[in-house]
């Protein structure tokens, strides 16, 4: 497929959601908390032949991101073996073992670009891009990603309140130790998050997430679009609730500490994926 043809069908089959997640953290704190929590959450999703396989985790340079504003950072390539975590309809039509999801991420903090594909089965018919910019405000930046024209007109803004237990989450996602409306940090004194907390906390930051989904599979586009509209806010809400409520576990760590934790987690994940039971969120 030529680049021109590819761009044509990408535009035809794309839909975009702009999620805004406000947190009672500084942008600098979140970098550590997010990476620590990714390593921790990966363990909770891995076991019984499913979960996260880390192929690469290394520095990158000279990769232009966000119109060249960022060029270097940390590159990761992971495979998510997720047979039980995709919509049941897709599980029925897809051959066993074909639903491995590849995730490539270029983390040039405070900007990160993540690309999700399924090269073994859906090939060029499926592509998700998540672009995140982290800014020190309470979600008030109108166009954080610098969108123009049709892209700006088509976006749908979704505000995610991590203190809301019911808006995007399933009952199985709720746990007493990761409930921001009841949690208070012993290290920082932050929380519980109640009322109009976003207008009253300091520090404060917002993760602006632009999710673009390309899906071209006759008869299934609406199903996958509906799945993405519910699952991404759910995933973002659940994960960021954990980031905040785990603050006493990661607050004070350095990026050197984080790289050591990631290296150790990579080995643990490989052992865990080959044994034990299927764990984590189901589709």
**What angle, 0 to 180 degrees and rounded to 10, lies between the N-to-C axes of helices 221-245 and 27-44?**
110
* pLDDT cut 90: percent of the chain above it: 58
**What angle, 0 to 180 degrees and rounded to 10, lies between the N-to-C axes of helices 255-273 and 27-44?**
10
Look at residue 11 in the predicted model and tell me its pLDDT.
Answer: 54
Residue 269 and residue 6: Cα distance in Å, rounded?
A: 35
Strands 126-135 and 111-117: antiparallel
Look at residue 107 in the predicted model and tell me its pLDDT.
Answer: 97
Q: Is residue 146 part of a domain?
A: yes
Q: Is residue 283 part of a domain?
A: no
DSSP assignment letter at 203: S
Averaged pLDDT score across all residues of the chain: 86
| pTM for the full predicted model | 0.87
Q: How many CB atoms lie within 10 A of CB 78?
A: 22
Q: How many distinct structural domains can be found in the chain?
A: 1
Q: Is residue 282 part of a domain?
A: no
Say whether pLDDT at 279 is over 70: no
Q: Is residue 33 part of a domain?
A: yes
Look at residue 281 in the predicted model and tell me its pLDDT.
Answer: 47
Q: How many CB atoms lie within 10 A of CB 64?
A: 10
Q: Is residue 281 part of a domain?
A: no
Q: CA 94, 169, 98: angle at the middle one, nearest 5? A: 15
Look at residue 227 in the predicted model and tell me its pLDDT.
Answer: 74
Report the range out of 42-56, 61-75, 85-99, 152-166 with the highest average pLDDT. Answer: 61-75
Look at residue 90 in the predicted model and tell me its pLDDT.
Answer: 58
Element (H, E) at 60: strand 51-60
Q: Is residue 204 part of a domain?
A: yes
Look at residue 87 in the predicted model and tell me its pLDDT.
Answer: 52
| Poorest-pLDDT segment among 136-140, 218-222, 248-252 | 218-222
- For 115-145, the DSSP string reads EEE-TTTTGGGEEEEEEEEEESSSS--TTTT
Looking up residue 218, the CATH number of its domain turns out to be 3.30.530.20
pLDDT tens track for 85-139? 455 555 555 666 667 889 999 999 999 999 999 888 888 888 889 999 999 999 9
Pick the residue with more confidence: 88 or 210?
A: 210
Q: Is residue 277 part of a domain?
A: no
Say whether pLDDT at 277 is over 80: no
47, 276 contact by CB (below 8 A): yes
Look at residue 282 in the predicted model and tell me its pLDDT.
Answer: 46
Q: What band does 47 get if pLDDT is binned at 50, 70 and 90?
A: low
Query: If you average pLDDT over residues 248-260, what whole number do you get?
Result: 97
Domain that holds residue 166: 7-272
Q: Is residue 75 part of a domain?
A: yes
Q: What band does 21 get if pLDDT is binned at 50, 70 and 90?
A: very high
Residue 259 and residue 221: Cα distance in Å, rounded?
A: 39
Look at residue 13 in the predicted model and tell me its pLDDT.
Answer: 53
Look at residue 9 in the predicted model and tell me its pLDDT.
Answer: 47
């Amino acid at each position: 497929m030529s680049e021109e043809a590819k761009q044509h069908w990408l535009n035809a089959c794309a839909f975009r959601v702009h999620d805004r997640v406000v947190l009672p953290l500084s942008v600098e704190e979140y970098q550590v908390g997010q990476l620590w929590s990714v390593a921790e959450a990966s363990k909770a999703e891995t076991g019984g032949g499913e979960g996260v396989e880390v192929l690469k985790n290394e520095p990158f340079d000279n990769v232009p991101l966000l119109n060249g504003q960022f060029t270097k950072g940390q590159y990761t390539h992971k495979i998510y073996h997720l047979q039980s975590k995709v919509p049941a309809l897709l599980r029925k039509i897809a051959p066993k073992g074909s639903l491995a999801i590849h995730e490539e991420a270029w983390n040039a903090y405070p900007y990160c670009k993540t690309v999700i594909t399924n090269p073994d089965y859906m090939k060029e018919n499926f592509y998700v891009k998540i672009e995140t910019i982290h800014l020190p405000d309470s979600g008030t930046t109108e166009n954080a990603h610098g969108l123009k024209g049709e892209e700006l007109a088509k976006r749908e803004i979704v505000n995610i309140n991590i203190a809301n237990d019911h808006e995007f989450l399933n009952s199985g996602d709720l746990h007493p130790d990761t409930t921001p409306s009841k949690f208070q940090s012993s290290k920082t004194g932050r929380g519980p998050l109640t009322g109009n907390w976003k207008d009253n906390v300091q520090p404060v930051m917002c993760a602006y997430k632009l999710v673009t989904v390309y899906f071209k599979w006759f008869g299934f586009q609406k199903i996958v679009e509906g799945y993405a509209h519910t699952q991404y806010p759910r995933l973002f809400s659940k994960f960021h609730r954990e980031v905040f409520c785990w603050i006493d576990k990661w607050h004070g760590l350095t990026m050197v500490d984080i790289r050591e934790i990631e290296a150790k987690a990579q080995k643990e994940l490989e052992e865990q994926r080959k044994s034990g039971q299927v764990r984590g969120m189901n589709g």
